[in-house]
Amino acid sequence: MSQNNQSSSPRLLDVADLSMRFGGLLAVDGVSLTVHEKEVFAIIGPNGAGKTTVFNCISGFYQPSSGQIRLQDVSIARKPSHEVALQGLVRTFQNIRLFKSLTVLENLLVAQHRQVNTNLLSGLLKLPSYRRSEKEALQRAAEWLERLGLTAYANREAGTLSYGMQRRVEIARCMITRPRLLLLDEPAAGLNPQEKQELQQLIDRLRREHGVAVLLIEHDMSLIMGISDRILVMEHGKPIVTGTPEQVRSDERVIKAYLGEE
Ligand SMILES: Nc1ncnc2c1ncn2[C@@H]1O[C@H](COP(=O)(O)OP(=O)(O)OP(=O)(O)O)[C@@H](O)[C@H]1O
């Protein structure tokens, strides 16, 4: 799979000197990174390096101890996750978080509730504006089900699908809100080799056809090297190096700190 050179594209996410302290532990220590529009940017590093904590700070689940986080020049540090999502940044989780007893379609409808006209009065009276936004939500759900090969599963309870399919539903649920930046937390975890290959193709397609940038944490090196434009390597909360897959692969500090441990 070919990487795109997106470094000349406009900057989408700017993280500057981010730190996060838990009591006596400095879990993230001075991390800076920039994600450009339509870029695929990966964060890698050994277990406990601080990757998930960086994700939680960016997506509004943690309030960083210090540092700046800007999405298209608007500060999002210390904003709650639902506000960050409204600004166009959405995420998936290491452990899939779907409404398992709702159908796949219902999961996609729930995801849009903030965008649907939820004015109580217009809902009660079933005014045309309410019916129109409900219809649009259904249409968008059908489109995303088709794009991700999920149409046949629309009426299945999400919890009964295979792990790989649930991951797809999760990604559809994010994409349906039309984000500019999609954060994927270990998207290949638990997938078989064929599903990993499909995931790689899917991420590439989302970027090319829907103009979304992707920031991901992943342990699967073949996926990372195959899909990323640039990679940030972390160790013990600190950034070690940021570069292209080729630069990272041959960097001695990375080999020592990360690849060397295996
Ligand atoms: N809510 C928390 N409270 C206290 N310590 C935490 C919390 N979250 C993370 N940590 C600690 O911060 C450090 C970094 O953890 P983090 O989960 O960010 O690492 P990671 O790189 O994502 O690891 P993994 O690859 O295993 O998911 C670890 O030492 C972890 O125990």
Distance 56 CA to ligand 1 centre (A): 10
| Probe residue for ligand 1, chosen from 29, 52, 215 as the CB with the greatest number of ligand atoms within 8 Å | 52
- Dump the DSSP string for 116-143: S---HHHHHTT-HHHHHHHHHHHHHHHH
Distance 53 CA to ligand 1 centre (A): 6
Residue 176 is predicted with a pLDDT of 93
Residue type at position 230: R
User: Per residue in 63-80, pLDDT tens?
Assistant: 999 999 999 999 999 899
Q: Which strand (E) or helix (H) includes residue 105?
A: helix 104-111
| Probe residue for ligand 1, chosen from 21, 25, 56, 183 as the CB with the greatest number of ligand atoms within 8 Å | 25
Q: How far, in Å, are 4, 102, 135, 156, 240 from residue 160 at the CA level?
A: 37, 10, 27, 7, 41
Distance 27 CA to ligand 1 centre (A): 7
> What's the pTM?
0.89
Distance 80 CA to ligand 1 centre (A): 20
Strands 11-22 and 66-71 turn out to be: antiparallel
Residue 5 is predicted with a pLDDT of 57
- Residue ranges of E strands in the chain: 11-22, 25-36, 40-44, 66-71, 74-75, 89-91, 181-185, 213-217, 230-235, 238-243
User: Per residue in 94-139, pLDDT tens?
Assistant: 777 889 889 999 999 988 876 555 566 666 666 666 677 778 888 9
Ligand 1 site, CB within 6 A: 22, 25, 27, 45, 47-53
Q: Label residue 139 exposed, middle or buried (CB < 10 Å: 0-12, 13-18, 19+).
A: exposed
Relative orientation angle of helices 193-210 and 163-175, to the nearest 10 degrees: 10
- What is the percentage of the chain residues whose pLDDT exceeds 90? 68
Nearest residue (CA) to ligand 1, atom 26? 47
Q: Label residue 249 exposed, middle or buried (CB < 10 Å: 0-12, 13-18, 19+).
A: middle
Nearest residue (CA) to ligand 1, atom 17? 52
Q: Mean pLDDT, the chain, as a whole number?
A: 89
